[in-house]
Chain A
């Protein structure tokens, strides 16, 4: 019994430690972003743009494909469900709201966690193993300023941007199927979508995606920085960062949805 209590206690402490580390990483990044220039160590704009290309621009094709598919999937399910009430044409509203409020941020969050969160963990983990992080430190370059801040900033800009993009492509996917299935015109579909949507719906998705961006970046870096034990350690950290980021995204999504709709 006591053994279990001890285990639980230890797990709680290490969990809290990690949470504290995450918070300090986040705060320190913003310190460098806003006040770095005062110490003559500004966050590199070039590095931030490079990250933006990798996180955002390079992910456009896959984001488009996934959100288009999700749009179609929602249209199929929506029409099937609403048929029972003879209200198939209401599917437009269903797609518009569920894509902007829920599916676009979630799909993009999960995609970027798998694509860029893992890349962060692997890159930083490898740097940790080969003492490149130590080298940065002894050169007098803060790893948080040099590595974390640009990636975090890039994530916080690109994940919402991709989410907005996914909003549009997702609704297009839904429209594509509904127009064919329900014999309505594209204009009518677009018109009804615009009537159904409020700015609030879109913003709800965008806010969520910013939170997801922070989760992905911070989880990736924490796992990368804590790598020990060579190549195997890097592999473990990479997997761990993806699983943790996706789990946290889903839980945060639920909490966020609850909070925003009460």
Chain B
């Protein structure tokens, strides 16, 4: 196992000049990011800003066109699949919909990483599973099937699975998606509690402003495949950048209305050049 240095200036996650394509369309235009040990970094942006794509690259689920993604000092775009598998034992991910395995009970879901990666005996694994369930306030739910849980419970169970190996890096994809404000706030509390208890470096991808401001140490704002800014909560709040103000003020992008073009669109005629 690799030992991470406890020097906060040493980034544990580094994204360098990341360029990504979907088909022939370039969706990320050279992203640079560095995330330090023990920090909560929120990657924020509207739909289509590329935030989910950045996350998929950080998890090694997509292969970039160019650039590097370094986790705990290893460039996951260069290392072998064997090395990636070992590295992944230090990484936990909580997916948007939970992504619990529907054919297994909650307990089996949480134990799965231990069963596949360790030689622990059944009793120990059960105890570890219950400890994590206690941490996410789901004690006693290990024998239920994922389909029997509510949305918030699924997310918490998924979180328990993500932290079962005590990962050094923890990723969240839209933690508040589909949850009501109260449950969502509880989940934010839980994220903060986990960081405090386990000193985990946490990356959260979201478009929820309230949640972002509650948990973030630093925020990266993405827009149309570019990093708009990286800064603390206050820096982002006080930013004079127009796009960021738009995002924070929830204003829609200005759309120029051209009467003639509008008419043409409605009637289905070819749009004439407006001069």
Contacts and interface: CB of A to CB of B under 8 A. Distances in A.
**Are A and B genuine complex partners?**
yes
A258 to B, nearest CB: 40
Contact of A140 (B95, B100, B113): B113
A17 B85 CA distance: 26
A185 interface: no
B263 interface: no
Contact of A131 (B88, B89, B99, B113): B99
Nearest to A140: B88
Contact of B95 (A40, A41, A135, A142): A135
Interface in A229-262: none
Q: Interface residues of A toward B: which range? A: 10 to 19
A140 B164 CA distance: 13
B93 interface: yes
Contacts of A142: 81, 85
Given A130-B99, A140-B113, A140-B116, A135 B89 contact: no
B149 interface: no
Interface in A114-153: 126-127, 130-132, 134-135, 137-142
A41 B116 contact: yes
Interface in B66-111: 81-82, 84-86, 88-89, 91, 93, 95-97, 99-102
B82 A39 contact: yes
B193 interface: no
B101 A135 contact: yes
Q: Interface residues of B toward A: which range? A: 20 to 34
Contact of A135 (B60, B85, B93, B116): B93
B82 A135 contact: no
A138 B116 contact: no
B135 interface: no
A141 B82 CA distance: 11
Nearest to B119: A40
Contacts of B89: 140
Nearest to B61: A134
Contacts of B95: 131, 134-135
Contacts of B93: 134-135, 138
Contacts of A131: 95-97, 99
A138 B91 contact: yes
B265 interface: no
B6 to A, nearest CB: 25
A134 B100 CA distance: 11
Given A127-B102, A135-B99, A139-B88, 8 more contacts: A39-B85, A131-B95, A132-B102, A134-B95, A134-B99, A135-B95, A141-B112, A142-B85
**Shortest 9 CB-CB contacts between residues of A and residues of B:** A140-B88, A131-B99, A135-B99, A140-B85, A138-B93, A131-B95, A139-B113, A132-B99, A138-B59
Interface of B: 59-61, 81-82, 84-86, 88-89, 91, 93, 95-97, 99-102, 112-113, 116-117
Interface of A: 39-41, 126-127, 130-132, 134-135, 137-142
20 contacts: A40-B117, A41-B85, A41-B116, A130-B97, A131-B95, A134-B61, A134-B99, A135-B100, A137-B60, A138-B59, A138-B61, A138-B88, A139-B88, A139-B112, A140-B84, A140-B85, A140-B88, A140-B116, A140-B117, A142-B81
